[in-house]
Structure 1
Amino acid sequence: MSCDFSLGEIAAFLDVEVRGDADRRITGLSTLQNSEEGHLTFLSNPKYLKFLSSCNASAVLLSSKNASNYDGTCLITDDPYLAYARISEWFDVAPFKQPDIHSSAIIDPTASLAAEIYIGPNVVVDENVKLDPGCHIEANCFIGARSSIGKNGYLAPNVCIYHDVKIGHSARIHSGAVIGADGFGIAPKADKSWQKIHQIGGVTIGDNVEVGACSTIDRGAIENTELGDGVKLDNHVQIAHNACVGDNTVMAAYSGLAGSAKVGKNCILAGDVCIVGHVDVCDDVQLTARTLVTKSITESGSYSSGSTPLMTTVEWRKNSVRIGQLDKLARQIKKSLD
């Protein structure tokens, strides 16, 4: 599949200013340092400014500040990175099949399938499943009893949706994801063995949610595990039973929520962040990489812990410097005492 658009068409879609030839053809996207004729690129991180003067792209998405120092053709926007993100869909050549139900798919007769959907080879759709228009279910997926997927939902190959999972519209769920498996519920017995707690809740996922490859969202023990609208999960993210994730919160790879943890809206969890069970995190919180949250956070802001107790990121940076000074301070104290 080839892509070929005029710069004017792109500018009109993005509602940005063109400086240069609006009829110039754009056939692909690239980074500044690897750009070629016909490519559109962008500059958002100042670390890459050094590549601007030597880039070979046909056009560059630039802020007005950077455009003032660039003589080539460009599109001028307040947010070059967001503009790049929006136009990237035009250049996505991933295959997307026409509506069809493959002959090898197994569809329970009680399932409700809307028109204009695609169901690939070896897909299993269980009893009373509901798939809305535009759903695209790739090969080897399983959708359990009474689960539903809203309009334009996309399941990549080998996704497993257990029973009683409700997914809103425009979801995108990547290969290897498992939604609705049992949460880690066990009770100790007198003989030191363990009694399984059957997980009888479900999972509720909002609209415009993306779940990365090999991520897991466990079903609730009694009530549902919940993800709000616009949540984005990277690969290898764990959401335990009865956890709740607020609207537009994003979680990077290897981050996880223990049982009944609650994260508010518009939060950012960097890689390998862990939040222990029954802890609440308020809206608009940023957690830096490998932070361990062991207590509730009630004020928005950036927090870090690493190998230290949880504190604000400003405090953590100061204390990290102090840790490097401890040996010198200890020697000075020892010398003063001798």
Structure 2
Amino acid sequence: MKLKEIIDLVGGSIAGDEEFEIEGASGLEFAGSTDITFVSEAKHLPELSKSRAGAVFVKEQTDTGKIQIVHPNPGLAFAQILTHFNPTETPAPGVHPNANLDDKVTLGTDVTLCANVSVGKDSIIGDRTVLYPGVVLGERCQIGSDTIIYPNTVLYRETEIGNHVILHAGSVIGADGFSYTQDEKGRHVKIQQIGKVVIEDHVEIGANTCIDRAAFCETIIREGVKIDNLVQIGHNCEVGSHSVIVSQTGLSGSCRLGKHNIVAGQSGISDHVTLGDQVTLMARTGVFRDIPESGTYGWAPAMKIVELMRFMPTLLRLPQLASQVKEMERRLDAIEKP
């Protein structure tokens, strides 16, 4: 693929030979002489001089011996070209003879159902959607078009999945929310969960992530949300569009996340908490109260990063301060003794 053809696909301008042939895309460290790579931040420019890449996406033209494509978003352009050279491979359309379908299932065109797929009655699967081996759909599920569901994923009854969604292996969508009350003897009595899960378009959900059905109404994952592996989303939560949730994070029931939130790994959000738009939680943040304002927060309980930066130096000095207090107490005791 010539560089001028790459320009036609992703835009930008070339500084160098537009006829140069590109055979692949890779990172700075791994790119070969016929690969294209990218540099999105100036701090990585020293690595570029060591790279064997034949061409590079950059934000601004720089002094290097390599052919450059100047692009306002080098990372995005690179991602698009990487996908062009490495499209997602899926099995050929068709229904495997070992797939188990109820008589009332509706299939779109060019659907792929692999071995040991099970689809419950009154479920609908859209065009060009792929279900890998061992996927289970309960009754009355709805799956959009161009969606990929990887092996051993389970969708409980009435789950709704949009278009261009990716569910990775082992994810469980629509299991009962964790909700109990106690009887007069202190025994836990289950509260039936009669809602469902709705996942909108262009969502990706990582392996072994669980999203619980709502007690009533819907648990909703909005358009463009990206969820990592091993995340727990409780019943009746709503995750705002284009938010990112990183591995080992837990959302308790009835949380509301705004648009473009980032929740870093091992964070926890208490039940009925609401986050505004463009809120970022650092790793291992604990949130117990609403955060209406955008910004970056950390610690437990969560506080703004500017407050945390003032707080941390004092916290780190606590052992020293404690020793100083003990010494002052010792001296005062010595003075007060007759």
Question: Which stretch of the first structure deviates more once superposed, 233-242 or 75-84?
Answer: 75-84
Q: Where do residues 130-145 of structure 1 align in structure 2 (5 Å cutoff)?
A: 130-145=124-139
Q: Is the aligned partner of 1:309 residue 2:298? A: no
Question: Which stretch of the first structure deviates more once superposed, 120-129 or 321-330?
Answer: 321-330
**Alignment equivalent of 1:147, drawn from 141, 146, 170:** 141
Q: Is the aligned partner of 1:60 residue 2:56? A: yes
Helix, strand or coil at the partner of 1:83:
helix
- Once the two structures are TM-superposed, the CA of residue 329 in structure 1 deviates from its matched residue by 3.4
Q: Where do residues 141-290 of structure 1 align in structure 2 (5 Å cutoff)?
A: 141-290=135-284
1:37 equivalent in structure 2: 33
Q: Is the aligned partner of 1:324 residue 2:316? A: yes
Question: Which stretch of the first structure deviates more once superposed, 121-130 or 320-329?
Answer: 320-329
Helix, strand or coil at the partner of 1:25:
coil
Question: Which stretch of the first structure deviates more once superposed, 323-332 or 36-45?
Answer: 323-332
In structure 1, stretches of 5+ residues that fail to align are none
**How far, CA to CA, are the matches of 1:90 and 1:313 in structure 2?**
39
Give TM-score, length-normalised by structure 1: 0.93
Amino acid at match of 1:43: V
1:18 equivalent in structure 2: 14
- Once the two structures are TM-superposed, the CA of residue 317 in structure 1 deviates from its matched residue by 1.9
Alpha-carbon deviations, 1:285-322, whole Å to 9, x = none? 000000000111111111111xx432101111221111
Alpha-carbon deviations, 1:33-67, whole Å to 9, x = none? 22211111111244432211121111111111xx3
Helix, strand or coil at the partner of 2:317:
helix
Alpha-carbon deviations, 1:209-255, whole Å to 9, x = none? 11111101110111211111111101111111111111111101111
Alpha-carbon deviations, 1:3-60, whole Å to 9, x = none? xx22221121111111222222222222212221111111124443221112111111
**How far, CA to CA, are the matches of 1:259 and 1:270 in structure 2?**
19
Helix, strand or coil at the partner of 1:157:
coil
Q: How many residues of Structure 1 are paired with residues of Structure 2 in the alignment?
A: 330
**How far, CA to CA, are the matches of 1:265 and 1:136 in structure 2?**
29
In structure 2, stretches of 5+ residues that fail to align are 332-338
Amino acid at match of 1:49: L
- Once the two structures are TM-superposed, the CA of residue 97 in structure 1 deviates from its matched residue by 2.2
User: 2:106·2:125 contact (CA, 8 Å) conserved in 1?
Assistant: yes
- Once the two structures are TM-superposed, the CA of residue 332 in structure 1 deviates from its matched residue by 4.4
**How far, CA to CA, are the matches of 1:173 and 1:309 in structure 2?**
32
User: 2:24·2:82 contact (CA, 8 Å) conserved in 1?
Assistant: no
**How far, CA to CA, are the matches of 1:270 and 1:134 in structure 2?**
33
User: 1:32·1:48 contact (CA, 8 Å) conserved in 2?
Assistant: no
Helix, strand or coil at the partner of 1:180:
strand
- Once the two structures are TM-superposed, the CA of residue 328 in structure 1 deviates from its matched residue by 3.2
Amino acid at match of 1:249: S
**Alignment equivalent of 1:7, drawn from 3, 15, 32:** 3
Give TM-score, length-normalised by structure 2: 0.93
Helix, strand or coil at the partner of 2:175:
coil
**How far, CA to CA, are the matches of 2:290 and 2:321 in structure 1?**
33
Q: Where do residues 63-78 of structure 1 align in structure 2 (5 Å cutoff)?
A: 63-64=59-60, 67-78=61-72
User: 2:285·2:301 contact (CA, 8 Å) conserved in 1?
Assistant: no
User: 1:43·1:80 contact (CA, 8 Å) conserved in 2?
Assistant: yes
Amino acid at match of 2:226: K
**How far, CA to CA, are the matches of 2:327 and 2:101 in structure 1?**
80
CA RMSD of aligned residues (A): 1.5
User: 1:41·1:61 contact (CA, 8 Å) conserved in 2?
Assistant: yes
Identity of aligned residues (%): 35
- Once the two structures are TM-superposed, the CA of residue 91 in structure 1 deviates from its matched residue by 2.3
Helix, strand or coil at the partner of 1:22:
coil
The structure with more radius of gyration: 2
